[in-house]
Chain A
C-alpha cells in the first residue's frame, strides 16, 4: 500500500503570493489532517477533513484554507504569503478520527 504522498516536496515563493499544497492519503483513508511545523512553535494543527467536510480548524488566520475531494485527496491553500509562513507542512491520513495517523514527507515552503 502506498503511503501518504505530498506534492510538491519543496517550494519557494515570494511574499504576497499564494500557494497550493496537495496531499494524497493512503488508499481507503477518509480522514486527512494538516499540520505546520516550525523550529519555534513545533507542530501546530491546521485542519481536519473527513468525508469532504472540514470538522476542525486550528488557530490560524483566514489566509489558510483547505478542502477535501470525493476521492479523499486534500489541498491546502495559503494566500498573501508572509515570511512567517515558511515552514514544513505535513499532511496525515487515517481511517477515521481517532485511528492511527500516518504522515507524509511534507512540503517545505520557503517564503522570501
Chain B
C-alpha cells in the first residue's frame, strides 16, 4: 500500500525567503506526482505535475523535483510572499489493476509566510 509522508507538517518563514517542502513515498512504481495548494475551506489548486520519467518541472517561482528511486519529491518556492500561505499537498499517482488510476495524498505542509 502506497504511503505518502510530508515533512514538516507546518512551516513559518519570513517574506522573501526561499524554502523547500518535502514529500516521500513508499512505492517507487508511480505513474506521476502532483503538487497542490489548498487555501482554508477551499478545494485544491494544481501547481505542478511531474511524470515518472521526468526529474523536475518549473512554473514561475515554483520548482518541483522527483527522485523516483529514492521515493522523494521536493517543492522549491523562491522569494516567498504572504500570498503563498496555504497548505501544500503532495499526491502520488498510481495505476492499479484493470487500468484504474488513483492519487494518494500526503497530509500536507501548512506554510505561513510572515510579512
Q: B42 and A98: CB pair below 8 A?
A: no
B31 within 8 A of A: yes
Which residues, 55 to 102 on B, are CB-close (under 8 Å) to A?
89, 91, 93, 95-96, 98-102
User: Contacts A101-B34, A102-B46, A106-B43: A55 and B99 contacting too (C-beta < 8 A)?
Assistant: yes
**In the bound complex, what is the Cα–Cα distance between A104 and B108 (angstroms)?**
18
Which of B31, B32, B99, B106 meets A42, CB within 8 Å? Answer: B106
Q: Does B26 contact A (CB under 8 A)?
A: no
With beta carbons under 8 angstroms apart, the residue of B45, B46, B103, B106 that contacts A45 is B103
Chain A residues 1 to 50 lying within 8 A of chain B, measured CB to CB, are: 4, 6, 31, 33, 35, 42-45, 48
Cβ of A105 under 8 Å from chain B: yes
Inside 8 A of A90's CB, which chain B residues have their CB? 43-44
Interface residues of B, dominant DSSP: strand
Instruction: Indicate the size class of the contact surface on chain B.
Output: 20 to 34
Whether B43 lies near A98 (C-beta < 8 A) is no
Q: Is the interface of A mostly helix, strand, loop or mixed?
A: strand
**Could you say which residues of chain B place their CB within 8 Å of the CB of A71?**
none
Residues of chain A lying within 8 A (CB to CB) of residue B105: 35, 42-44
Question: Within 8 Å CB of B98, what residues of A?
Answer: 55-56
Distance to closest chain A CB from B21 (angstroms): 15
Please determine whether A42 and B43 come into contact, CB atoms closer than 8 angstroms: no
Interface hits, A27-81 → B, CB 8 Å: 31, 33, 35, 42-45, 48, 55-56, 58
